[in-house]
Each structure stands twice: as C-alpha cells, then as structure tokens.
C-alpha cells in the first residue's frame, strides 16, 4: 500500500482550467466596438434582435441607426420579442453619416446599446471611429455594427474589438451559427448555434 501525505497533495485550484466569460454577455460588451457580419440572406438581424431584447429586459435603452436605404421589417422584429415602442430608429444613410449620428447620440449618455446597420458601406475613417470608441468607453455603451460581407474579409477596422460572422442553414427550421473570428479580450471560442422557426423575413 502506498501512502500519500496530505501536504504532498497539489492544490485543486492549480488543476482547474480557467473558464472564460461569455463574450456576448451584456457586461462584457460594454464600451466595445463590435462588428456582426453576414453573407447574403443570413441572419445578423436575428442576433441584433436578441441583443436589443436583452437590453430592454435589463430596463436599458437601445437605439437603431439605419445607414442603408432600408430598415428592418417591424412586424418580424416585434415577433422576435423587441418592444418597438422603446426602440428609436435614426435614418442616416452612409457610413460617415451613421457614425456622425452615433457620435451625437453617444454624447447624450442616454443609450446603452447602439445597433448601426452599415450594410456594404463599411469603410469608415479611423479618427471618426476612434472618437466613437472613446465615447462608448466613457458611457459604457455597446456599439454593434452590422456589415454585409463574407467571412474571408477582415474586420472593418483595426479598432473593432469583437467580430463575429453569422451563417444560416436549414429550411423550415433555421439553424443560425454565430462564429467569433476576432476577440481582443479573450479567445474566439466555438461557434454558438441556435435553432429558429421563423419569421422568415427577419433572417
């Protein structure tokens, strides 16, 4: 029989792997610039609706800035659980116009989440994005840019702190995958998969 002295045992804490926090947790996104990319006909709007609903459930204020020629379909967003009466929408087509509107809004300190839909027009001046980033940090605001491009392209700017690509497969039931491809504050982790059953217009 082999005896082991208690003092010779290693501390259990040294053998436990450190668990990384969820990068999509509301607190982990505060003050960060996030890019949510999608290919054609995929589901970044669904994930944006999730973030808005999460914000509203915490009794905080979200804002949508439409930098494209169109905005989300309101009935589908409502079916996704978003309270439309609590979601102001600003139409500012073009990347520079959208970021200019975001800068004005951030200075009010009234919003904890800004969704900025840039579509294909995602080339922005670094100084302007830098001002947005500093204001977001000062106000602990989450800034999420929606861009339309394939995963083979880099993030829209080096100042982006978290970038994820949304992909979708399926027919009647839609399997949505959110894969983090860039995370300055932690690992990329495994893609998060969710199953949805419509409404199809939101995807």
pLDDT digits (tens, 9 = 90+) for 139-182: 999 999 999 988 788 889 999 998 988 876 655 455 566 777 78
How far is Cα 191 from Cα 132, in angstroms, rounded to an integer? Answer: 28
How far is Cα 61 from Cα 82, in angstroms, rounded to an integer? Answer: 12
Instruction: Pick the closest to residue 92 from 120, 114, 64, 112 (CA basis).
Output: 64
Strands (E) across 79-186 are located at 89-91, 113-119, 142-148, 162-170, 174-183
How far is Cα 129 from Cα 146, in angstroms, rounded to an integer? Answer: 15
pLDDT value at position 181?
74
CATH fold of the domain at 24-202: Rossmann fold (3.40.50)
Q: Choose between 115 and 187: higher pLDDT.
A: 115
Q: Do the Cβ atoms of 118 and 65 come closer than 8 Å? A: no
Which helix (H) or strand (E) segment is 79 a member of? Answer: helix 74-79
Q: Do the Cβ atoms of 166 and 42 come closer than 8 Å? A: yes
Q: Would you list the domain boundaries of the chain?
A: 24-202
pTM of the model: 0.80
Report residue 125 as tokens: 């001046």
- In tens, the pLDDT along 49-103 reads 989 999 999 999 999 999 998 889 899 899 989 999 999 999 999 999 999 999 9
């Amino acid at each position: 029989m082999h005896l082991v002295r208690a003092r010779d045992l290693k501390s259990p804490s040294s053998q436990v792997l450190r668990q990384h926090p969820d990068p999509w947790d509301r607190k982990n996104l505060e003050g960060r610039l996030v890019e949510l990319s999608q290919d054609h006909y995929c589901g970044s709007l669904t994930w944006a609706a999730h973030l808005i609903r999460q914000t509203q459930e915490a009794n905080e204020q979200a804002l949508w800035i439409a930098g494209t020629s169109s905005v989300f379909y309101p009935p589908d967003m409502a079916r996704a659980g978003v309270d439309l009466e609590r979601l102001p929408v600003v139409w500012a087509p073009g990347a520079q116009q959208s970021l200019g509107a975001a800068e004005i809004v951030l200075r009010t300190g009234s919003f904890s989440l800004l969704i900025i839909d840039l579509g294909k027009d995602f080339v922005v001046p670094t100084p302007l994005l830098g001002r947005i980033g500093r204001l977001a940090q000062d106000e602990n605001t989450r800034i999420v840019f929606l861009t339309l491009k394939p995963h083979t392209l880099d993030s829209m700017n080096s100042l982006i702190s978290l970038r994820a690509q949304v992909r979708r497969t399926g027919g009647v039931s839609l399997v949505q995958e959110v894969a983090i491809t860039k995370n300055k504050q932690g690992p990329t982790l495994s893609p998060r998969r969710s199953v949805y059953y419509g409404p199809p217009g939101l995807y």
